Structure 1
């Protein structure tokens, strides 16, 4: 992927991560929240964070020591 594509994709993933965070926060205050659904959302959020980190690592040039 080119740098511009990586930056665009990171932006999309960050937005999805924020959206999931808001959804998780909203469900946390609902007494009837399905705990399995909450766990799935949190797992998805962690996967997004891992994807973001992996893409950001591609933007950092390797330093040869």
Structure 2
């Protein structure tokens, strides 16, 4: 029972991370299109996006069962 709750929590976290990643992607595109940004601001957004990508990957791995080959 606790394993199911943990799986559901991980799925919810994964969806939240994917949403935030997509939002950041759109924000970066809009910022670039506006032409009104500084490179530090853009760099920070891109770094946050990479961190989210790593967290998405790690969360996906937690959801996959261990398979012994």
TM-based fold match above 0.5: yes
Partners in 2 of 1:32 and 1:12 — Cα distance? 29
Partners in 2 of 1:53 and 1:32 — Cα distance? 32
**Aligned residue for 2:36?**
32
Calculate the TM-score normalised by the size of structure 1. 0.93
**Aligned residue for 1:48?**
52
Which of 8, 11, 24 is the aligned partner of 1:20?
24
Calculate the TM-score normalised by the size of structure 2. 0.88
* RMSD of equivalent CA atoms: 1.2
Which of 2, 7, 10 is the aligned partner of 1:3?
7
Partners in 2 of 1:43 and 1:64 — Cα distance? 34
* Count of aligned positions: 65
SS of 1:64's equivalent in the other structure is coil
Structure 2, gaps ≥5 residues long: none
